Structure 1
Protein backbone atom coordinates (compact mmCIF):
# COMPACT_ATOMS: atom_id res chain seq x y z
CA UNK A 1 0.00 0.00 0.00
CA UNK A 2 1.31 3.44 -0.92
CA UNK A 3 0.67 6.21 1.57
CA UNK A 4 0.21 9.59 -0.07
CA UNK A 5 1.95 12.63 1.37
CA UNK A 6 0.10 14.85 3.82
CA UNK A 7 -0.61 17.55 1.25
CA UNK A 8 -2.63 15.01 -0.76
CA UNK A 9 -4.61 13.50 2.11
CA UNK A 10 -7.62 15.83 1.94
CA UNK A 11 -8.86 14.27 -1.23
CA UNK A 12 -12.51 14.44 -2.13
CA UNK A 13 -12.41 12.46 -5.38
CA UNK A 14 -10.04 10.11 -7.11
CA UNK A 15 -10.77 9.05 -10.66
CA UNK A 16 -8.81 8.04 -13.72
CA UNK A 17 -9.08 9.49 -17.16
CA UNK A 18 -6.81 8.71 -20.11
CA UNK A 19 -4.16 7.06 -17.93
CA UNK A 20 -3.72 10.00 -15.56
CA UNK A 21 -4.82 10.24 -11.95
CA UNK A 22 -6.71 13.40 -11.12
CA UNK A 23 -7.00 14.19 -7.43
CA UNK A 24 -9.52 16.78 -6.26
CA UNK A 25 -8.38 18.70 -3.17
CA UNK A 26 -10.50 21.56 -1.87
CA UNK A 27 -11.49 22.79 -5.35
CA UNK A 28 -7.91 22.46 -6.64
CA UNK A 29 -6.98 19.78 -9.11
CA UNK A 30 -3.64 18.13 -8.52
CA UNK A 31 -2.39 15.85 -11.22
CA UNK A 32 0.02 13.05 -10.47
CA UNK A 33 1.34 11.90 -13.78
CA UNK A 34 3.71 9.04 -14.31
CA UNK A 35 4.72 8.91 -10.64
CA UNK A 36 6.12 5.55 -9.76
CA UNK A 37 6.55 4.16 -6.26
CA UNK A 38 10.09 5.54 -5.99
CA UNK A 39 8.88 9.06 -6.71
CA UNK A 40 6.00 8.73 -4.25
CA UNK A 41 8.40 7.51 -1.55
CA UNK A 42 10.73 10.41 -2.32
CA UNK A 43 7.93 12.95 -1.96
CA UNK A 44 6.64 11.31 1.23
CA UNK A 45 10.08 11.16 2.83
CA UNK A 46 11.00 14.70 1.81
CA UNK A 47 7.81 15.92 3.45
CA UNK A 48 8.55 13.96 6.65
CA UNK A 49 12.10 15.36 6.77
CA UNK A 50 10.80 18.91 6.28
CA UNK A 51 8.22 18.43 9.01
CA UNK A 52 10.88 17.04 11.39
CA UNK A 53 13.23 19.95 10.65
CA UNK A 54 10.46 22.46 11.35
CA UNK A 55 9.71 20.76 14.69
CA UNK A 56 13.38 20.88 15.73
CA UNK A 57 14.12 24.39 14.44
CA UNK A 58 17.51 25.96 13.68
CA UNK A 59 19.12 22.94 12.04
CA UNK A 60 22.38 23.69 10.21
CA UNK A 61 21.97 23.13 6.47
CA UNK A 62 24.72 20.47 6.29
CA UNK A 63 22.76 18.34 8.82
CA UNK A 64 19.51 18.34 6.82
CA UNK A 65 19.29 14.88 5.23
CA UNK A 66 19.13 14.69 1.46
CA UNK A 67 17.44 12.09 -0.71
CA UNK A 68 19.46 10.32 -3.43
CA UNK A 69 22.21 12.92 -3.03
CA UNK A 70 25.38 12.18 -1.09
CA UNK A 71 27.10 15.01 0.72
CA UNK A 72 30.36 12.97 0.91
CA UNK A 73 30.97 14.37 4.41
CA UNK A 74 30.03 11.25 6.42
CA UNK A 75 26.53 12.54 7.17
CA UNK A 76 23.68 10.15 6.40
CA UNK A 77 21.46 10.51 3.38
CA UNK A 78 18.61 8.42 1.99
CA UNK A 79 18.97 6.38 -1.14
CA UNK A 80 15.82 5.06 -2.78
CA UNK A 81 16.55 2.47 -5.43
CA UNK A 82 14.63 1.94 -8.65
CA UNK A 83 13.00 -1.06 -6.96
CA UNK A 84 11.74 1.32 -4.18
CA UNK A 85 14.05 -0.11 -1.53
CA UNK A 86 15.05 2.53 1.02
CA UNK A 87 18.56 2.72 2.49
CA UNK A 88 20.24 5.16 4.86
CA UNK A 89 23.78 5.55 3.58
CA UNK A 90 26.90 7.14 5.05
CA UNK A 91 29.53 8.06 2.52
CA UNK A 92 32.68 10.13 2.80
CA UNK A 93 34.91 11.21 -0.07
CA UNK A 94 33.36 8.63 -2.36
CA UNK A 95 33.82 5.73 0.07
CA UNK A 96 30.66 4.13 1.41
CA UNK A 97 31.03 3.27 5.09
CA UNK A 98 27.55 2.19 5.99
CA UNK A 99 24.30 1.14 4.27
CA UNK A 100 21.25 0.36 6.38
CA UNK A 101 18.06 -1.15 4.96
CA UNK A 102 14.85 0.61 6.05
CA UNK A 103 11.44 -1.06 6.25
CA UNK A 104 9.54 2.14 5.44
CA UNK A 105 9.83 5.93 5.49
CA UNK A 106 9.32 6.12 9.27
CA UNK A 107 12.18 3.70 9.83
CA UNK A 108 14.37 5.78 7.48
CA UNK A 109 13.47 8.96 9.36
CA UNK A 110 14.40 7.37 12.70
CA UNK A 111 17.74 6.10 11.37
CA UNK A 112 18.58 9.46 9.79
CA UNK A 113 17.90 11.44 12.92
CA UNK A 114 19.56 8.93 15.25
CA UNK A 115 22.75 9.86 13.42
CA UNK A 116 22.10 13.58 13.03
CA UNK A 117 20.40 14.45 16.32
CA UNK A 118 23.64 14.38 18.34
CA UNK A 119 25.29 16.76 15.86
CA UNK A 120 22.19 18.97 15.91
CA UNK A 121 22.35 19.07 19.73
CA UNK A 122 26.06 19.89 19.57
CA UNK A 123 25.42 22.71 17.10
CA UNK A 124 22.75 24.16 19.40
CA UNK A 125 25.07 23.99 22.44
CA UNK A 126 28.31 25.08 20.77
CA UNK A 127 28.27 28.52 22.44
CA UNK A 128 27.52 27.10 25.89
CA UNK A 129 30.81 26.72 27.80
CA UNK A 130 29.20 24.40 30.38
CA UNK A 131 27.81 21.71 28.12
CA UNK A 132 28.63 18.07 28.82
CA UNK A 133 28.32 14.82 26.89
CA UNK A 134 25.46 13.75 29.19
CA UNK A 135 23.62 17.00 28.46
CA UNK A 136 24.12 16.47 24.72
CA UNK A 137 22.77 12.92 24.94
CA UNK A 138 19.72 14.17 26.85
CA UNK A 139 19.23 16.86 24.23
CA UNK A 140 19.58 14.24 21.47
CA UNK A 141 16.84 12.14 23.07
CA UNK A 142 14.64 15.23 23.41
CA UNK A 143 15.15 16.05 19.71
CA UNK A 144 14.17 12.50 18.69
CA UNK A 145 11.06 12.59 20.88
CA UNK A 146 10.14 15.98 19.42
CA UNK A 147 10.18 14.47 15.94
CA UNK A 148 8.07 11.44 16.89
CA UNK A 149 7.01 10.80 20.50
CA UNK A 150 5.96 7.22 19.67
CA UNK A 151 9.51 6.09 18.81
CA UNK A 152 10.77 3.55 21.33
CA UNK A 153 14.20 4.99 22.07
CA UNK A 154 15.15 3.33 25.35
Structure 2
Protein backbone atom coordinates (compact mmCIF):
# COMPACT_ATOMS: atom_id res chain seq x y z
CA UNK A 1 0.00 0.00 0.00
CA UNK A 2 1.37 3.42 -0.90
CA UNK A 3 -0.89 5.34 1.43
CA UNK A 4 0.75 6.91 4.42
CA UNK A 5 -0.54 5.98 7.85
CA UNK A 6 -0.55 8.00 11.07
CA UNK A 7 -1.04 6.16 14.33
CA UNK A 8 -2.10 8.65 16.97
CA UNK A 9 -1.11 7.02 20.24
CA UNK A 10 2.12 5.08 20.51
CA UNK A 11 1.17 2.82 23.40
CA UNK A 12 1.09 -0.98 23.30
CA UNK A 13 -1.76 -1.24 20.79
CA UNK A 14 -0.52 1.57 18.53
CA UNK A 15 2.95 0.03 18.31
CA UNK A 16 1.46 -3.45 17.78
CA UNK A 17 -0.59 -2.11 14.86
CA UNK A 18 2.51 -0.55 13.30
CA UNK A 19 4.45 -3.80 13.70
CA UNK A 20 1.63 -5.82 12.17
CA UNK A 21 1.34 -3.47 9.19
CA UNK A 22 5.07 -3.82 8.53
CA UNK A 23 5.35 -7.59 9.10
CA UNK A 24 2.39 -8.28 6.83
CA UNK A 25 3.94 -6.24 4.02
CA UNK A 26 0.88 -4.00 3.98
CA UNK A 27 2.96 -0.89 4.62
CA UNK A 28 6.59 0.15 4.47
CA UNK A 29 8.00 1.43 7.78
CA UNK A 30 8.74 4.85 6.26
CA UNK A 31 5.05 5.19 5.32
CA UNK A 32 4.02 5.02 8.98
CA UNK A 33 4.25 7.83 11.50
CA UNK A 34 3.38 7.21 15.14
CA UNK A 35 2.77 9.81 17.84
CA UNK A 36 3.27 9.86 21.56
CA UNK A 37 3.86 12.64 24.03
CA UNK A 38 7.08 10.98 25.19
CA UNK A 39 8.75 9.72 22.02
CA UNK A 40 11.72 8.33 23.97
CA UNK A 41 9.66 5.18 24.53
CA UNK A 42 9.33 4.66 20.75
CA UNK A 43 13.02 4.01 20.00
CA UNK A 44 12.43 0.32 19.13
CA UNK A 45 9.80 1.05 16.49
CA UNK A 46 11.78 4.06 15.25
CA UNK A 47 14.82 1.80 14.73
CA UNK A 48 12.67 -0.22 12.30
CA UNK A 49 12.22 2.87 10.11
CA UNK A 50 8.90 4.14 11.44
CA UNK A 51 8.69 7.90 11.80
CA UNK A 52 7.94 9.19 15.31
CA UNK A 53 6.74 12.55 16.55
CA UNK A 54 5.00 14.12 19.50
CA UNK A 55 3.04 16.40 17.12
CA UNK A 56 -0.35 14.96 16.15
CA UNK A 57 -0.93 17.74 13.60
CA UNK A 58 2.31 16.86 11.82
CA UNK A 59 1.30 13.20 11.71
CA UNK A 60 -2.15 13.96 10.27
CA UNK A 61 -0.64 16.25 7.61
CA UNK A 62 1.71 13.41 6.62
CA UNK A 63 -0.92 10.69 6.40
CA UNK A 64 -3.89 9.56 4.35
CA UNK A 65 -5.15 7.07 6.94
CA UNK A 66 -5.30 8.18 10.58
CA UNK A 67 -5.55 5.45 13.22
CA UNK A 68 -6.67 6.63 16.65
CA UNK A 69 -5.12 4.50 19.39
CA UNK A 70 -5.35 6.70 22.47
CA UNK A 71 -7.12 6.14 25.78
CA UNK A 72 -10.90 6.72 25.76
CA UNK A 73 -10.66 9.70 28.10
CA UNK A 74 -8.15 11.37 25.73
CA UNK A 75 -9.84 10.94 22.38
CA UNK A 76 -12.08 14.00 22.20
CA UNK A 77 -9.32 16.43 23.16
CA UNK A 78 -6.85 14.71 20.83
CA UNK A 79 -9.22 14.72 17.84
CA UNK A 80 -10.28 18.32 18.41
CA UNK A 81 -6.59 19.21 18.54
CA UNK A 82 -5.92 18.05 14.97
CA UNK A 83 -9.37 18.30 13.34
CA UNK A 84 -8.43 21.41 11.35
CA UNK A 85 -5.81 19.30 9.52
CA UNK A 86 -8.40 16.75 8.35
CA UNK A 87 -9.65 16.70 4.77
CA UNK A 88 -12.63 14.45 4.08
CA UNK A 89 -11.48 13.91 0.48
CA UNK A 90 -8.05 12.71 1.62
CA UNK A 91 -8.25 11.24 5.11
CA UNK A 92 -10.01 8.25 6.63
CA UNK A 93 -10.20 7.94 10.42
CA UNK A 94 -9.91 4.51 12.01
CA UNK A 95 -10.60 4.36 15.73
CA UNK A 96 -9.47 1.46 17.89
CA UNK A 97 -10.56 3.34 21.01
CA UNK A 98 -12.92 1.41 23.26
CA UNK A 99 -16.39 2.80 23.88
CA UNK A 100 -16.27 5.79 21.53
CA UNK A 101 -19.08 5.85 19.00
CA UNK A 102 -18.73 6.86 15.35
CA UNK A 103 -21.66 9.22 15.96
CA UNK A 104 -19.60 11.10 18.55
CA UNK A 105 -16.55 11.32 16.31
CA UNK A 106 -18.69 12.66 13.46
CA UNK A 107 -19.87 15.45 15.77
CA UNK A 108 -16.23 16.37 16.41
CA UNK A 109 -14.91 16.19 12.82
CA UNK A 110 -17.98 16.63 10.61
CA UNK A 111 -20.39 14.30 8.86
CA UNK A 112 -18.37 14.09 5.63
CA UNK A 113 -15.33 12.45 7.23
CA UNK A 114 -15.02 8.71 6.50
CA UNK A 115 -14.79 6.93 9.87
CA UNK A 116 -14.22 3.27 10.71
CA UNK A 117 -14.12 1.58 14.11
CA UNK A 118 -11.90 -1.44 14.56
CA UNK A 119 -11.36 -3.67 17.59
CA UNK A 120 -8.04 -5.49 17.27
CA UNK A 121 -5.87 -6.82 20.07
CA UNK A 122 -2.11 -6.74 20.56
CA UNK A 123 -1.77 -10.06 18.71
CA UNK A 124 -2.03 -7.86 15.63
CA UNK A 125 1.75 -7.39 15.95
CA UNK A 126 2.25 -11.03 14.96
CA UNK A 127 -0.68 -11.17 12.53
CA UNK A 128 -2.78 -13.29 14.90
CA UNK A 129 -5.48 -10.77 15.82
CA UNK A 130 -9.14 -11.13 15.07
CA UNK A 131 -10.42 -7.64 14.34
CA UNK A 132 -14.06 -6.53 14.27
CA UNK A 133 -14.74 -3.60 11.93
CA UNK A 134 -17.66 -1.20 11.58
CA UNK A 135 -17.93 1.83 9.30
CA UNK A 136 -19.88 5.05 9.50
CA UNK A 137 -22.30 3.48 7.01
CA UNK A 138 -23.33 0.62 9.30
CA UNK A 139 -25.46 0.71 12.45
CA UNK A 140 -23.49 0.23 15.66
Q: TM-score, normalised by structure 1?
A: 0.29
Higher strand share: 1
Relative contact order higher in (CA < 8 Å, ≥ 6 apart): 2
Q: TM-score, normalised by structure 2?
A: 0.31
The structure having more radius of gyration, on CA atoms, is 1
